[in-house]
Structure formats: structure tokens, C-alpha cells
A and B are shown apart, each in its own frame.
Chain A
Amino acid sequence: MSDLDTTEHVLPGNAPGEDVIFELRGDADFDTAEMSLSIGPAHPATHGVLRVVLDMDGERIRDARPVIGYMHRGFEKLAEYRDYRQIMALTNRHDWLSGFCNELGVALAVEKMMEMEVPDRAQWIRMLLAEWNRVLNHLMFIGSYAIELGAITPMFYAFREREEIQYLLESATGGRLHFTYNQPGGIKIDLPKGFLRQSVEELATMRARLPDYVDLVLGNEIFQARTKGIGPLPPEVALAYGVTGPSLHAAGVPEDSRVTEPYLKYGELDVRVPTGDNGDSFDRFAVLLGRIEASLDIIEQIHDHIGPGPVNTKLPKIVKAPEGATYVRTENPLGQLGYFLQSDGSKNPWRFKMRTPSFSNVQALPYLLRGQLIPDAVAILGSVFFVVGDVDR
């Protein structure tokens, strides 16, 4: 300890909060041992069984190697043994926090190949539930990210909201995580009576409570100190890695397939894409909150558009996609989800590739972690939003 150079240098900076960042400067007399530190596979900051091997030089991260595959369940192989309706139940499991959005992608892909006309009401309902699912997902990360930074309370707030929304979705789909509510050509059954009214009420509740999160977390001094300037991700790097979703938006790229490649009826709505400036952890978190707000706006618009009508189309006994291949991309809560579907004309897909946002997001971790301090690693890990099931599939 005596050798430790305790001189602290305040970094010059123009971003608020940056002035509280200290840099420990090791010199010749500051001996650091290189060591390899393994975070995970069951670290609470990793949302599943992800392992990150950090090559450390003292407190400094020289390199990081995410080790994935602990949750590999072979969904792509399993999908080749299932028909298109059964695949729905597979896909809402790889990212268990956005089950509805996942199965929506499959339905869109199958419908695209079968050239199905989906009734308007079904499309609106899909959008409605997808947006609620997005809010659900983001709330989870808002709560958990705060907990990873040492703030326990926001988690309770987030789960209070989550519970209400899950209750709402459960009343329509019967499921809390695995909804299996989509089917090729529409949705399984119509919304239950009174769902929209509940949705309206929940929308008001959420709107009223959203400022709490801003005050409680985003405006928190400690939170800002822990996240501002930490793990910046430049846009060109993010794009090269295929990082999408909140992390890409935080870097200033408003690439959101609801806007740039509108599916369903998103083209008729005003979809706002919040973006950040610095692409750091703080921005990523702020974008998450902004996306909740944007989703609530979308939900309100959907409430105004949704009308009566059928919710599904009559399906043949065996759903068969014609021969060929297609690629469907949807904006999932964590980023862009792509399904590549190649069919040989049978009832099972020949190849069903899941391009999951988490996989690409995690791939950028080494870039983000390199050169950072170990305490910041958690702040970075938590702010690159991913679900390990979505990484490993």
C-alpha cells in the first residue's frame, strides 16, 4: 500500500458529472499484476448465464472476452422440426422479456411468404401489445440497471408497473412471459371485453409515474457519476457491430425499423425515436426512458385507431410457406430482431435463422470494456441491454 500513488487527478471535461471522475495513474512504483478475472457465468449483472473474462491490469481492463453459449438451446434446429404455429412458442422464449415482439416477427415472416392479408384490427392489436411489451421490457432494465449500480428502490417501482402491465397482457393472452398470442394471419382471439379501457387507464398511470424514474434515477447525482462518460459507443462502431436498439439510438442514430421500414401500421403513426448524443451508459439509460415515453405515445395513437373487425384469417389445416426465402426485421425492445426464413414448401422451415439483437449487442462488449476500470464494467454491462437467452438462443 505504501507504494500506491494516491495522487488523484481530476480530469478536465465539459460534460456534467465528468469532473467527479478520478483517474488513478499508476507509475513505475505502482506495481500491477496482470490477472484474468472471470465475471459470471452467474453474475447478477449479466441477466443470465453470461461469462465475461476480463484481462486485468490492476483495476484497468486490458481486454474482455465474453463467453456465451451457456444457454444455447438450439432453437434454430428445433424450429426445423416444428411447423409454423409451433415456432411461435419457440420464439417467444429466446428473449423472454419481449415474447410478444418475438412471435410477431415469425408471424410477419410467414405472412410475408404466404402473402396473407392480415385484418386491420389484428394489426392494431399486435402493435398495441407489442408496445406494451416494449414498456414491460424497458421497465425491467430500468429497475435492474439501477440495482446493479447500487440503488435498490427503483426495482420496486419498476416491478409495480410491470405487474400491472403484465396483468393487462395476461388478460388478453393468458400468459405472463410466453404469450403465444400471434398466429399466422392474425392473433389467436380477440381482446377480452374491457381490455382497451384497462389499457387507457394503464396508459394514464404509466404516464403519471414516468417522471418518478427521471427524478429517482436519471437525475440522481450518484447515478450520473457512475454512468456519464462511461462506455461511449461511437455510431460507426455500433453499426459495424450490428448494435441496434437503445444502444444505437444513444449513439445518435435513429435507426428504428418502425420508422425506416414500417411494418404493421406503424407507417400511419407518429413514432418518435429518442436519441442520445454521447452514446455512453447514461445516454443508453436515458434513451430507454425516452422509448417508454414514445411507446406510450404510440399506444395512445393506437387507441384512437383500433376499430372493430375480425382478428384473424382462416388458416389452412397445415400452414405451409411457399418455396423461397425472406428476411423480416422488427424493432424489438432490445434492438432489431431479424428472422431469415427459408422454406422448401413444406410445413417446416428449411432454415430459420434468428438474428437477435442481444447477440450483436454483446459482441460490442469488448470494445466498450477495453480500457475501463473494473467498477465501470458493471455499469457498462448493465447498460448494453441484452438478455442472455437472446444471445445464445
Chain B
Amino acid sequence: MSYPVLARRDTALDDAETTALLRDRIGGGIVGEVAEYGELTVEVAPADWHRTIALCRDEDLLSFDLFDCLFGVDAGEEGLDVVAVLYSTSKGRRLLLRTRCEGGREAPVVASVADVYAGANWHEREAFDMFGIDFEGHPGLLPRILCIENFEGWPLRKEFPLASRVAKPWPGVKDPAEPDEDGNVIVREPAIGEAPGPSGLDEIIARQAREANPTSTPEVDADQGASGGADAANAASEEPQREEVELDQEVYDRLIGEGKSERIARSKAKAAFIKKQRAAAKAAEDEPAEQEREEQEGGEEPDVAATSTDEAEAPPSPDAEAGAGTEGATAAEAAPKPSIPDVDDESVAADDVDSVDEPAPAEASDDQQATVDEDVPHEPDVDDEAAASASARADAARADQAAAREAKANEASDDADDADEGLTPVPAGSPPPDPDDDEVAPAADATDGETEPIDADSTDEGAEPATDEIAEAAPEAIDEAAGSTDDATAVDDTDGAVNAADATDATDEAEDPDDEANDAAATTAESVEPVTDDTDEAPEASDEAAASPDDATAIDDPDGAGDEEDAADQADDVDDAPTGEPVTDDAPTAEPATDDAETDEPVTDGAATAEPATDDAETDEPVTDDAATDVPVTDDAATGEPVTDDAETDEPVTDDAATDEGAADNEPDDPVADGPEVDEPGPFGPGSAYPREDGSGPHGWRIKATQDGNVFHTEDSPNWRTAQADVWFDDVAAARAAGFAHWDPYVRTDLEADPVTSTTHDGPAPVGGTLPTDDGVEIPGRTADVDLHVDDAGEDGPPGYGALDVHQREPAVEPHGEGEDGDGPYGAGSAAPAEDGSGPDGWTVKGNADSMLFHTDDSPQFDDTKAEVWFASIEAARAAGFRHWDRSQRRDQSEQQSEQEGPQGE
């Protein structure tokens, strides 16, 4: 047997000749042939299967000597096919032979060709294993070649379900097997643990799936939340949302009507159903209290909370659908509200609180306490200053609202005064604890007094009582307050500027407001949602007070340092007033004194509030503006996002809860910090601006920047749509100037500023730049410092080399100002390197323009680094925007920055 080096294609038969030959030899056994996509498939009658294959091997004109493979194909209702692939090494031809097994799907059988080609043995065993095709004359199809011995069923047949997919649906948002417009679907119902597979194995898988996804009832969740503290709560919140629950048909129909996918609608409807159940349970528990409230409140307006939730829900929270358990949970909470028109506001609120609380474990309370201690001293002054600045801006920003607010504010202030008077009389029920305790002990303490020791519960309780008080005392005021809180958060998220007006109002009127504010803040802080409730019920009264409190707290927090006076005041108040519980007590007790009660509590709250505020303070910076900002927003806030925002802003607990939802993105910190900087040139220099309330930027500005990642997104970024802009920029240059990095790591370095040397490349956007690593380690494979000799080939060299490295460019040293006079390419204290790469005498800091790192002489990479710029000192390098090579040293820098920004904010 001799084998030519190359196959002799010239001696091979073409498709027509091949089939003609086969027809000639086999006759009617050749059913048909298909030549598509360059492959010839000859269809053979099963009776002539063996004969045909033997012929293909033995016929000299064909001489298919290489047995490539043989396998089954599911032909649907028509049965099962067997395909054999043969190849001729001498002719360089391939032939596919295909036959349809006799016996249909029940008992498919075809002749074995293992005696023709030895290699067919295993392939036929595999076809039997996968499809159950019996090969007549095969030496032994058993044991199953790939599956385990006792496996039941034929896995590759279409009726055999993919067990894992049955037990657990595709985890992503989109399932490639989901129905498309062609109606091509693998239908599957994602019900858990109902794998209808034909074998015992499937049942085992299904059982495991059920065990892995236990159906959790709402009661269970509540218990966990109550008793389990942080871990339990977290665990509960993380549980996948896959229980078999009935659907809330209303919600389901509505969502379907809105064009949502069935999947989304189903999940939301389930969530709504759970929510209803919880609400009902809660309502049953609280009946007495409700009755009281009903008496007090008379006719209730439609739930603000409910509406707000609706709106909040309206944006089809994509995250929730994404399938993450936590997100799903939040979505569920958000969704249910609309469906509960009947349930009392309180109960709803309570539910919300619960949900919020669960995530927020003991930690929250701890934080609160800790923060409270720190914060209390800080709070005071802020209000005045904040009020001043805030008022200025506020006036400018929204004179209208301001006017409107003032009216209310006056009323509120009156109320506040009343409240002040009332201050001394501590609520009846509450045993006044020591002032210290009050300060330290936040909502948690209050809660303790009432009933359940657990943090989550405490929040709930605290929330409700607060609500009561508010309801009694200042109906509308509460609304505003609630709104304000919301606003505050909202403002934080978006612009500092907008909401200045209200803040001003509050602040102006308000020394009293501060107290009230504290109260309100306290309420807010303690119970995030209660605020919402307040809003719902809200008559008229305490608007400003409530609003202002938030502001106050917010302000306090941020200013931390500056506002000692107010803090002192509050502290005094705190001393006088009992801690958290009193609030609760007040609510029930003193209806007439409502204002007082508020005031009193406020003090207490102040303490409590302080905590939440503290949180903000920790996170953010100059809250003051925010506070101001908040008020105006009130209305908006009330409607839309309130709960979530509040939660985030006010209490750490809330934050946890909130995190799940999309709102989580708005981290209070950044926005708050931003607020003060809103000055003319833009927060980050010319060409930058904070987003508006709705997150949009100035007209025509298309560049979003996020402070989290310190990255800016141009419109061609895949994340541009979803990115929540902390800052908008006019153009790329402005964003770069502000220190943000391009979203595309390949374009991190400014190619326009440092144009590429070669431009022969007319293909897609050049891939260039280095990938700087944060830790300053330069990856040798990356090309920044690699010798450039290959590129020199240029156009004369081999065709490809130059093209590949088209992106090579000169070191990114700015052309201008190679100053010895101290005004170098990167400002004072920088200098471009000399010809040999050395820097000015005595300068020991090298800057790498690609990675934007600078290396001091104790850096391990110092010697290897080619300085693209030299710096006289570390400070100069930092001032130029370079980062320290040592990660641990960078923190100092950021701290310094924050210190610098702090005073600027004021």
C-alpha cells in the first residue's frame, strides 16, 4: 500500500460521478443525494446500508479508506438517522452517507458496519448509547460506552430533557433556548424539582434541586429577620425567589398588558402575592393600633407609599429580572405594594420596613451607635451655614418652590415653636434614659423598650411609632419631611443645586426647625419607610419641621466639624429628651401635643438621627448643600423612589436593603460630596456638570463619568446606557482633564494627544496603548517598554510587521513646556527627560505617562522605568495627577484629597 504525499484530487470523482457510480452499483438503494455547503450526502436505504459502505471502501474509484466517524441524528417524527463520514486519503474526497433506521423511534435498527471498518465499533456503540439505535451484527453494544451502566433513556433524543435545565432554569436574563420569532423553542417550565425525565437519575436530580431551593414562606422569613440578626437576614434576602407561590393575577395581567415578558410578570406577580400575604398578616397583628389610627386620621388618602411604589416599580427594574436572588427579592418588595390597595398604610409601611430591616442587621445598629457618638458634636452649626449658602442657591434655583415652601415653612415654624415649648414634657410612656444613652443608643434602644430586642424589629417598631406621631402631629409637614428625606437622598444622587431652596426655607426659619428637623430626621433615620407612611397620611402641619430635620441631619453629618453649635443644641435636647422609645410613646400618647411630641422626640431623634446622618457624614462630605437641596425635591421624592433612597441615605440598614435595588447605584456619598462643588466652572473643571434630577446631563453633552470606577463612558461604550453619571462631561478632553479614565482600557492613553507615528492602518480603530496595572507592575508581554526595532521595517519590510505595530507611538510626553524653570510638561516641578532619559540633577521621581504612576527611587521598578517625565518631588507628581507606585502610599494621597476637598466644600 503506497500513499502519495498529497491526495490526487484529479483522480477523484466529483459529486455527480460519485452518486452515479453508487446508483449504478447499488441501484435503488440510493434514495437520494444532497450537496450543500460543500458536502455531498448520499441517502441510502437501510437495507443497503452495509453493502453501500463496503462498496465505498472497496471500489477503486472511490477507495474511502479513512473511516471518519458514524453517529446518529434525531430526525423527529420520522425516526432516527445514522450518518457515516468516509474519507479517501488517496482521492482527497469526503462522502457522507445517511440512512434512516428501520423500526421508527421505538425500535430503530440498522446493519452494523463494524466488520467493514473496525473503527465503526465504538461509533456504533456511541450511537446506541445516545439514541438507542440497535446495530445488527455488532459484536457488543453493551455496556454503554459513555453513560453509566444503569443509565435509562437515550440522552440525545429530542424528547430527552436536559435535566439540569429542567431543574434550574437558565440563570441569565436571556436564554438561548427561549422562544424566538420563529417559534423554535425547547419548551420548558422552570418549575423547580419537577424534572419529568424518564429515568431515576432525573428524579434524583430533581429532588436535589428541590432541596437546594426550599420553598420559604413569608413567616419563615420574618422569623429569620427577627431572630437571626444580620446573617439570617442576609441569608433570607439572598434566597432565590423561586418558591412555588400563587400569582397575584392583577399584577400579572397588568404587567402582561404593559408588554412585559411573561417571565418578568410572573416573578413580579409572585412577589406581589407574597407581599399581600405579609401585609395581611401584619394587618391582623396590628389591628388595634390601626383602629386607633383610623380614629385619629379619619379618612385616609390613597397610600402615598403605594403610589410611590408604583412609580418606582414602573421602570422595569432590569436588575430584578436579571435573576439574582437578592435583586429579585427587592423587586418583589417593590412590586407588591401596588397590589395592596386595601391594606392599611401602616401595615404596608410596616411590611416595607420589615423588608428593609431584614437586610440591615446588628451591624447597622452598631454603626449607628458609633456614628452617633461621633456625630453629635458635629451637627450643630451646619444648619446656619448651610441655611445661608443653601438659601442663596435655593433662591436662585427655585424661587417658586421656595415661595411655596415658605408658606408651609411658616406654618411649620409655628408648629416647631410649639414643639419647642413642648420639649420639656417628655412623652408619657417613655422612661427618659440618660442623655448619654440617648446619644449613643439609637433607634435600637427605643425598640428594645417596646418589644422585640432584634434590630430589625427595632427598626420596624421605631418606624411605626414615628409614623404615628407624625400622623398626629404634623400631617402635611410630615409629608414634606418625608419628601425632603427622599429629596435629600435624591438630591444626593443627582444634583446638589436644585434643592437648595427648601433647605433655605427650613434653615431660615429654623432654629426650631433644627429641632424638628432632628425629629424628622430621627423618624427618618429610625424608620425609613415610616416616613413614607407619613407622607401618605400627611395632613398639613409639620411639613417644614419634618423637612428641615432631614436637612439638619444631613447638614450636620456632612459638616461634622464645623457645626458644633447646633450639635450642642441638639445634644442638649437629646439630654432632655428620652431616647427612641419616647417617640413611640409620644405618638400614641400625646395627640394634641403632637408638635411637642415631635419636638421632643426630635431631640431624641436627634440622637437617633445623628446616627443616620453620621452615616452620611462618614460617607460623604459636605452634606450641607444636600440638606438644602432636599427640601425642594420633596414632592418628587415622595412620589418616586422615596423608600429606597431614604433607606440608603438615612440608615446603613436601609442601605443594605436598598443595595439590591437599582437605586443602590446612587451612593449617597458621592453626590453629597459633589453638592458643594457645583460652582460655575463645573464640579470637575470646565466642561463638567452634575447630572440633573433625572440623571440627564446638559443638552448635547454625551460623556458620562462615574466616580466609583473613576471612569468615563463615551457613547460607544457598551455600558453607556446603564451607567449612572455622577458627572457629565462635554467632551473627552474635559473628562480626561478631570482625571477620569477612558472606559476602554485600550484607549486609556490619549491617542489624540499623542498621535500614532504610523498611519498606514486603515482598518478598524487601532488597538493601542498599554494596559496599566494598578500595582505598578509592568507586564513584560505588554509592549510599553519593548524595543521598537521591529517596527522599523516600515513599508519596505515584510508586509505585516509594520501594520501590526501601527499603534506604536512616541512616549507620551507633552510637547510643550520642557521647563527648567519649574513649569514642566506636567506643571510646576516636572520636567521632560533629557535625550538619554535622565532627569534634572537631584530629581528622583520618575513618571510613567502610560500607567500614570510615578516611581520614587525606592520603587523596585525605578531602574527599569523609562521616565517620560521627571518630577522634583512626590507632591509635584501627585499634583500632576500621577499615582504613587506603591499602592499603600496612594491612600495618603486620597486622604489628602478628601481633606482638601472638605474645606473647599464649605
Chain A positions within 8 Å of B, measured between CB atoms, are 68-69, 72, 74, 76-78, 80-83, 86, 112-113, 121, 124, 167-168, 170-171, 189-198, 200, 235-237, 239-244, 252-255, 259-261, 273, 303-311, 318, 324-327, 329, 336, 338, 340, 342, 344-348, 350-351, 353, 355, 359-360, 363-364, 367, 392-393
Q: Are B89 and A239 in contact (CB under 8 A)?
A: yes
Instruction: Tell me if B830 counts as interface (CB < 8 A to partner A).
Output: no
- Distance A68 CA – B760 CA, assembled complex (angstroms): 54
Contact flag A192-B783 (CB < 8 Å), given A69-B147, A308-B760, A309-B763: yes
Question: In the complex, which residues 732-769 of chain B have their Cβ closer than 8 Å to any Cβ of chain A?
Answer: 760-764, 767-769
Contact flag A81-B36 (CB < 8 Å), given A197-B805, A347-B180: no
- Distance A351 CA – B75 CA, assembled complex (angstroms): 10
Instruction: Tell me if B1 counts as interface (CB < 8 A to partner A).
Output: yes
Q: Are B176 and A340 in contact (CB under 8 A)?
A: no
Cβ contacts B708-743/A at 8 Å (1 or 0 each): 000000000000000000000000000000000000
List, sorted by A's number, 17 A–B pairs whose CB atoms are closer than 8 Å: A69-B144, A78-B162, A121-B763, A124-B800, A189-B767, A192-B783, A193-B767, A197-B805, A243-B119, A326-B39, A327-B96, A336-B68, A338-B85, A340-B69, A350-B74, A355-B71, A363-B121
Contact flag A260-B763 (CB < 8 Å), given A236-B1, A308-B806, A324-B36: no
Question: In the complex, which residues 806-830 of chain B have their Cβ closer than 8 Å to any Cβ of chain A?
Answer: 806-808
Q: Are B769 and A193 in contact (CB under 8 A)?
A: yes
Q: Are A196 and B800 in contact (CB under 8 A)?
A: yes
Instruction: Tell me if B887 counts as interface (CB < 8 A to partner A).
Output: no
- Distance A228 CA – B213 CA, assembled complex (angstroms): 59
Instruction: Tell me if B862 counts as interface (CB < 8 A to partner A).
Output: no
Q: Are B37 and A112 in contact (CB under 8 A)?
A: yes
Contact flag A193-B799 (CB < 8 Å), given A326-B38, A348-B177: no
Question: What 3 A-B pairs come out closest when comparing CB atoms?
Answer: A194-B783, A346-B184, A308-B803
Given the complex, which residues of B lie within 8 Å of A326, measured CB to CB? 36-39
Q: Are A239 and B39 in contact (CB under 8 A)?
A: no
Given the complex, which residues of A lie within 8 Å of B85, measured CB to CB? 327, 338, 340, 355
Closest chain-A Cβ to B43's Cβ sits at a distance in Å of 12
Chain A binding surface, main DSSP class: mixed
Chain A residue with Cβ nearest B96: A327
Q: Are B119 and A363 in contact (CB under 8 A)?
A: yes
Closest chain-A Cβ to B493's Cβ sits at a distance in Å of 33
Q: Are A242 and B155 in contact (CB under 8 A)?
A: no
Instruction: Tell me if B94 counts as interface (CB < 8 A to partner A).
Output: yes
Chain B residue with Cβ nearest A189: B767
Closest chain-A Cβ to B593's Cβ sits at a distance in Å of 64
Closest chain-B Cβ to A348's Cβ sits at a distance in Å of 6
Given the complex, which residues of A lie within 8 Å of B68, measured CB to CB? 242, 329, 336, 338, 355
A-B contact count (CB 8 A): 215
Q: Are B782 and A241 in contact (CB under 8 A)?
A: no
Chain B residue with Cβ nearest A167: B781
Most buried by B among A74, A236, A259, A311: A74
- Distance A171 CA – B68 CA, assembled complex (angstroms): 35
Instruction: Tell me if B156 counts as interface (CB < 8 A to partner A).
Output: yes
- Distance A76 CA – B71 CA, assembled complex (angstroms): 11
Stretch at the interface among B2-10, B364-372, B852-860: B2-10
Contact flag A325-B36 (CB < 8 Å), given A81-B176, A194-B786, A351-B73: yes
Given the complex, which residues of A lie within 8 Å of B3, measured CB to CB? 235, 252-255
Instruction: Tell me if B92 counts as interface (CB < 8 A to partner A).
Output: yes
Given the complex, which residues of A lie within 8 Å of B688, measured CB to CB? none
Q: Are B145 and A240 in contact (CB under 8 A)?
A: no
- Distance A86 CA – B804 CA, assembled complex (angstroms): 29
Contact flag A342-B66 (CB < 8 Å), given A304-B800, A305-B799: no
- Distance A260 CA – B87 CA, assembled complex (angstroms): 11
Most buried by A among B36, B37, B184: B37
- Distance A305 CA – B41 CA, assembled complex (angstroms): 36
Question: In the complex, which residues 613-651 of chain B have their Cβ closer than 8 Å to any Cβ of chain A?
Answer: none
Instruction: Tell me if B117 counts as interface (CB < 8 A to partner A).
Output: yes
Given the complex, which residues of B lie within 8 Å of A197, measured CB to CB? 783, 786, 790, 801, 804-805
Given the complex, which residues of A lie within 8 Å of B96, measured CB to CB? 327
Contact flag A191-B804 (CB < 8 Å), given A259-B6, A338-B69: yes
Most buried by A among B117, B770, B800: B800
Instruction: Tell me if B122 counts as interface (CB < 8 A to partner A).
Output: yes
Assuming A191-B767, A242-B68, A329-B94, what are 10 further A-B pairs, CB within 8 angstroms? A192-B783, A194-B786, A194-B808, A196-B805, A239-B67, A242-B66, A260-B89, A326-B39, A353-B73, A355-B68
Closest chain-B Cβ to A86's Cβ sits at a distance in Å of 6
Given the complex, which residues of B lie within 8 Å of A347, measured CB to CB? 176, 180, 184
- Distance A392 CA – B760 CA, assembled complex (angstroms): 48
Most buried by B among A78, A340, A344: A340
Instruction: Tell me if B83 counts as interface (CB < 8 A to partner A).
Output: yes
Contact flag A69-B148 (CB < 8 Å), given A252-B3, A306-B800: yes
Given the complex, which residues of A lie within 8 Å of B800, measured CB to CB? 124, 196, 303-308
Closest chain-B Cβ to A364's Cβ sits at a distance in Å of 8
- Distance A203 CA – B121 CA, assembled complex (angstroms): 42
Given the complex, which residues of B lie within 8 Å of A353, measured CB to CB? 69, 71, 73, 83
Given the complex, which residues of A lie within 8 Å of B263, measured CB to CB? none
Q: Are A324 and B37 in contact (CB under 8 A)?
A: yes
Which among A77, A342, A344 is the interface contact of B156 at CB below 8 angstroms?
A77
Closest chain-A Cβ to B147's Cβ sits at a distance in Å of 7
Instruction: Tell me if B146 counts as interface (CB < 8 A to partner A).
Output: yes
Which among B67, B156, B770, B804 is the interface contact of A241 at CB below 8 angstroms?
B67
Q: Are B37 and A113 in contact (CB under 8 A)?
A: yes
Q: Are A239 and B65 in contact (CB under 8 A)?
A: yes
Instruction: Tell me if B187 counts as interface (CB < 8 A to partner A).
Output: no
Instruction: Tell me if B130 counts as interface (CB < 8 A to partner A).
Output: yes
- Distance A80 CA – B157 CA, assembled complex (angstroms): 11
Given the complex, which residues of B lie within 8 Å of A342, measured CB to CB? 73
